Structure 1
């Protein structure tokens, strides 16, 4: 097991020295690296795995920010204050107002700076906020989303182009550039890969040193002074750049932890997420909660949110296993595929055979899983099953989202037989399907308004023309597969930070020389809110703020 204990800098021996060390190469670590290196600081990025980009590369690549420059350039009225009020309405009292305002009041400054350094953004048109029109006037119909332009991998050169993490579902359709010349180029990547690509290129061009296969095993700290925590002065890296021995690397200004969540650490998942079985993760091995272990050893406060508002998706099994031999909670290394039940001829039901949410809107679906029956003390909506008929397999949506392999499903000629095989109440399933089919014929889901939310309809712009989220379940044979709760690198727990992205102790005082960004930082700025694009925004802004603060001469570690 890897040790994450911190050690005092007793003998002062160092193998290398930098001003700033960024641990992790997602948008948080790379934003910090771009900012620091651009300010003339000697900067090192160390990535635990063999590829750069982190969870950012696996994301949809969206950034959500109110009153952003791309929105205002199109004449769309908005204000940062309206965006903050929208967040506060969703936070349910769990957000720190100062942190919320700090995040969104800094966003435009960070965007301007990063754009100057070569990151190319563009607005995503016609995509409303999650909760539009419910939370008008603070929710907006258009303009708050932007992402990166398609990225040409040749920009990275031969030494780095093959080190950028890829995902299977990036496509011109998803990126909204079908018909443009770059859509035909094999060297182009889109969405999260493009975002990570631009940030990696900008970090390299700014002069940052970026290394893969370089896991940090512990923080190094100096001696404590009266009334303060010991300063973090460096890190120990095991097998730097794939080598065999540990190296002590000094950071004269500070260390930025931006290593994602803790998806592959089953103990932390159980502790902070209230583990539902079956569960797994959609991210690569290496997201182990290293920041929590190292931060705790340095005296950091760990802040948590209720797991019902964690960013969790539904997933299906693929039957494909990873090449890596890793210890993880993901089905004995079986790769999972994110599944969005938005097509026709499919519904999601609980063990009683009942629908319980709008399947097309994941925040509603996930929160419903955490409903507790206070009398029987059970979660009535977990486990949950995807129910399909034979028409499902020929739906045009299958070309965009393959779904579960047939061999992973229960199959039966009748719904009664299917329910018995899957462990679902037969009478409940039959009545649910009958009612759902009636609503499909009427063209409206009166129970949960499936597919009616503006964000859902806009997000389905990539779907084949004429595809409806409603479609009856009537053609035998019928299929059922148990859905999996799948984490995405964003947990309920993280290191608590202040407005400079400094990691703080339980008493609120900062730990000198230690910073956190992205999914490693607790979501005290957002509270219970879920809104796509904010995760990437947080990484970008807090990496930027951390590096700015470290660039101050007053943050130099004592010699």
Structure 2
């Protein structure tokens, strides 16, 4: 007996981040009737909470400004970062498809992007093929008023206006004394000019609305419907969700709910899953990332539904980024702050002057002026594989850091939220209160302060990466990432693992975004994009802008394949 559908679409997209919106726009531009489902009550997904950066490698926008770059140089950079773990055909296709997608969305769709000026590659100049500028793109400030009645339906960051109302170019300029970030922030907020990920999300939602894409917020993709051996539709159900609270469904993605209010929708040309990662599934975080306890900055709607549903039609998630830098970062919990209805955490971009990061022995163990090195080391097991020698870890700093630079959610000169840090009048007392080895911490601080006199770090090379010097350093110092810890009181915060929606594992896909079975064959009618997919093209590497670019390019490619001739596609 044929399935009875409440409505028929050509393409159904689950998720409204950059991957889902790029797919929806491309399919609609080619004449498809498109529906986007979003579990949260607002559009934009994790993209709207992010920096919104794109890393396409060589691209027409940078070339128009005179930046010289080649595919060979970008490929050399990717080869080093991927550590040999990338899938060859996808790695080779990343740069070509990224370039094609950037051209399509700027020239055909009208999304206004710009080069982030003054920002180098993460690993410049130490990695072959890295560039000092020109590889990072972002949305131009997008006026919220252009969205009309949809303006309040597109997410901006609940972590503060600086996340949604400052461009990367403005931040970089302010970090070198060439601009006033406060004035930029005030201007954008007053005009509701959205920047970063919020700006990119707003621009993509606007483009989708212009092409008659339909949206259903507070709606979950609860299950896939298979007919004739292909994914032919979806079961969707309402969600009790709020961008300020939790999200629950009447049923569940594993099929154990009653689905009393669920409806069936036909998807003639296919379904695209672009639902983010699995941050709120503690069992999956432990299984894929080896973490029993972690925190996240993403909405509680990011629950790995794509993994559950795709597994029922023959797909399995693969951990495509181990070994290598984990996409799970470090940060700290903020007592008393509630975001998305839950106690909040904040990401730490290590490297502020007057601060160091130490292990329980009180020893530095990484270039703590460059967060990727810290992340690598805190997730590394010891030689006997029985423990992580550098975890737990602590951020240790003095009053000068607070006064000069602040620590989110507080601004420079403001006191920290009560309970955030342990405080003491001496380094020895601080160690005793935290459980850090007092002798080790005292020796480490004394040694580090000696390095600050010459502005060099012979132990770990702190301050040698221009990216980190720019993003978290102080240009007025000889070494932007180094200054001594001498001014009491002293503080310590125990770090936690913090995820941002980009998990280690994801669904295996081909160059068209088709979800593959464990045997490597496409599942007819099922596609994926964004953080729902495994990072097979970047293997074990990570850089800002890659997650967003992968979302855009695979959403674009999936939609092209699905709508090639208007008929159902494998």
Question: Shared fold (TM-score greater than 0.5)?
Answer: yes
Residue 526 (1) aligns with residue 547 (2): no
Aligned 8 A contact 2:145 2:151 in 1:
no
How far is the alpha carbon of 1:245 from its aligned partner?
Answer: 1.3
| 2:438 aligned residue (421, 426, 433) | 426
Aligned residue number for residue 251 of structure 1: 267
Aligned residue number for residue 6 of structure 1: none
The change in CA–CA distance for 1:98 and 1:525 in structure 2 (over 3 A counts) is same
Aligned residue number for residue 453 of structure 1: 465
| 1:378 aligned residue (378, 387, 393) | 387
How far is the alpha carbon of 1:162 from its aligned partner?
Answer: 3.8
Aligned residue number for residue 77 of structure 2: 86
Aligned 8 A contact 2:282 2:292 in 1:
no
Q: Distance in 2 between matches of 1:544 and 1:124?
A: 23
Aligned 8 A contact 1:350 1:382 in 2:
yes
Residue by residue, what CA displacement relative to the aligned partner does 1:356-409 show, whole Å, maximum 9, x if unpaired?
Answer: 112231211100112222247221100000112222321245589649535322
Aligned residue number for residue 129 of structure 1: 121
Residue 480 (1) aligns with residue 492 (2): yes
The change in CA–CA distance for 1:548 and 1:483 in structure 2 (over 3 A counts) is same
Aligned residue number for residue 206 of structure 1: 211
Aligned to 1:354, what secondary structure does the other structure show? coil
| 1:77 aligned residue (21, 46, 68) | 68
Aligned 8 A contact 1:38 1:207 in 2:
no
Aligned to 2:52, what secondary structure does the other structure show? coil
Q: Distance in 2 between matches of 1:207 and 1:554?
A: 17
Q: Distance in 1 between matches of 2:411 and 2:114?
A: 29
Within-5 A mapping of 1:475-554 = 475-553=487-565
| Aligned residue pairs, count | 533
Structure 1 residues not aligned, in runs of 5+: 1-9, 224-229, 326-332
| 2:296 aligned residue (269, 272, 281) | 281
Aligned 8 A contact 1:118 1:198 in 2:
no
The worse-fitting range, judged by mean Cα deviation, of 39-48 and 387-396 is 387-396
Aligned 8 A contact 2:276 2:531 in 1:
yes
Q: Distance in 2 between matches of 1:119 and 1:551?
A: 21
| 1:157 aligned residue (119, 129, 148) | 148
Residue 295 (1) aligns with residue 286 (2): no
Structure 2 residues not aligned, in runs of 5+: 171-180, 242-249, 251-259
Aligned residue number for residue 170 of structure 1: 163
Q: Distance in 1 between matches of 2:515 and 2:312?
A: 12
Residue 265 (1) aligns with residue 281 (2): yes
Aligned residue number for residue 236 of structure 2: 237
The worse-fitting range, judged by mean Cα deviation, of 107-116 and 20-29 is 107-116
> What is the RMSD of the two structures over their aligned residues, measured on CA atoms?
2.4
Q: Distance in 1 between matches of 2:96 and 2:532?
A: 21
The change in CA–CA distance for 1:483 and 1:469 in structure 2 (over 3 A counts) is same
Q: Distance in 1 between matches of 2:334 and 2:355?
A: 18
Aligned 8 A contact 1:56 1:192 in 2:
yes
How far is the alpha carbon of 1:246 from its aligned partner?
Answer: 0.6
Within-5 A mapping of 1:369-408 = 369-375=378-384, 377-398=386-407, 402=411, 405-408=417-420
Q: Distance in 1 between matches of 2:41 and 2:451?
A: 50
